[in-house]
Amino acid sequence: MFSGKTEELIRRLNRAKIARQRVEIFKPALDTRYHAEDVVSHNQNSIRSTPVPVAQEMLLLAAGCDVVGVDEAQFFDESLVDVCVQLANRGTRVIVAGLDMDYMGQPFGPMPALMAVAEFVTKVHAICVCCGELASYSFRVTAAESKILLGETDAYEARCRYCFQEGMREKAAETTSQAELK
**Among 10-18, 89-97, 129-137, 173-181, which window interacts with Zn ion (CB under 5 A)?**
129-137
Instruction: State in angstroms the smallest separation of the CB of 144 from Zn ion.
Output: 23
Report which residue type is found at 98: G
d(CA 51, CA 135): 29
Query: Can residue 158 be called a binding residue for Zn ion (CB under 5 A)?
Result: no
Query: Can residue 169 be called a binding residue for Zn ion (CB under 5 A)?
Result: no
d(CA 74, CA 114): 10
CA 86 from centre of chain:
21
Instruction: State in angstroms the smallest separation of the CB of 125 from Zn ion.
Output: 12
* Residue 31 burial by Cβ neighbours in a 10 Å radius (0-12, 13-18, 19+): middle
Judged by CB under 5 A, the number of residues near Zn ion is 6
Query: Can residue 130 be called a binding residue for Zn ion (CB under 5 A)?
Result: yes
Question: Which residue number, 88 or 130, has a Cβ lying nearer to Zn ion?
Answer: 130
Instruction: State in angstroms the smallest separation of the CB of 103 from Zn ion.
Output: 16
Report which residue type is found at 65: C
Task: Give the C-alpha distances (Å, rounded to integers) separating 59 from 62, 84, 178.
Answer: 6, 9, 49
Per CB under 5 A, the list member of 10, 65, 83, 128 interacting with Zn ion is: 128
Task: Give the C-alpha distances (Å, rounded to integers) separating 96 from 50, 117, 134, 154, 177.
Answer: 14, 12, 22, 25, 42
Query: Can residue 163 be called a binding residue for Zn ion (CB under 5 A)?
Result: yes
Question: Which residue number, 99 or 126, has a Cβ lying nearer to Zn ion?
Answer: 126
Per CB under 5 A, the list member of 54, 63, 121, 131 interacting with Zn ion is: 131
Instruction: State in angstroms the smallest separation of the CB of 2 from Zn ion.
Output: 13
- Binding residues for Zn ion (CB under 5 A): 128, 130-131, 133, 160, 163
The residues annotated as belonging to the active site are 72
